[in-house]
Amino acid sequence: MRLILFGPPGSGKGTQAKLLAEKFRIPHISTGDLLREAVAGKSPLGLQAKGYLDAGMLVPDDVVIGLIREVLTTGIAKDGFIMDGFPRTIPQAQALDRLFGELHVRVDGVISLRVEHDEVIRRLTDRKVCRSCAKIFNSNQLHADDPSRCPECGGELYQRSDDTPETARKRLDVYLKETKPIKDYYRESGRFTQIDGMRDIADVYEEIVTILRKPIS
């Protein structure tokens, strides 16, 4: 299965991608996670990307396309993947199609999560990430007696530095301007399904699994 999850920041792509990757036992490829790891490790890629992440802006296309090329050609994703956060521009979508052509594979589906703008900002500024298991939680899901610990593995929770109100708004603007136009690109190719991402995590997950069970035309 080769699936692209699409949607604004905070639409639940990361949460759903983790659940789906576990269910189908295939890798979750998140360019955001890969870039944050590079920044934390102070690698040349990380040093190049840090300023863009901090500002809520997109890392240049050639850098992220190179990163995805590296991931897809190493073979770790040869049996499928759930892609989250890539592509984010039309040139990235075109480069991905070229890469799929080279690798003789096709994407099985692009699922877009629709979430209202106010809700995007509310979710981004409310969420915490676990340092150990990388799962994402909103404040309602945390244990009242120790909200600083992951409810699943007990790891330390932190707020992403780009989840502040100001950077969250910037990221939504960038999404609307640079990323949203990709919807038409995929709509034209017939591989695109938009679903309501405003619902509970479990309901969204069920709908995605139902869509994926349908035979590919």
Catalytic residues: 13, 88, 127, 160, 171
Q: How far is the CB of 146 from ligand AMP (least distance, A)?
A: 26
Rounded CA separation 81/87 (Å): 14
Q: How many CB atoms lie within 10 A of CB 14?
A: 22
Residues in contact with ligand AMP by CB under 6 A are 9, 31-32, 35, 52-53, 56-59, 64, 85-86, 88, 92, 162, 171
When the beta carbons of 18 and 88 are compared against ligand AMP, the nearer one is 88
Q: Which residue, chain included where needed, has tokens 């190719």?
A: 189
Q: How far is the CB of 144 from ligand AMP (least distance, A)?
A: 28
Q: How far is the CB of 147 from ligand AMP (least distance, A)?
A: 22
Q: Which helix (H) or strand (E) holds 37?
A: helix 31-40
Rounded CA separation 6/87 (Å): 8
When the beta carbons of 58 and 107 are compared against ligand AMP, the nearer one is 58
Closest CA to 156 of 127, 126, 131: 131
Question: Which residue's CB comes closest to ligand AMP?
Answer: 32
When the beta carbons of 58 and 150 are compared against ligand AMP, the nearer one is 58
Contact 88, 30 (CB under 8 A): no
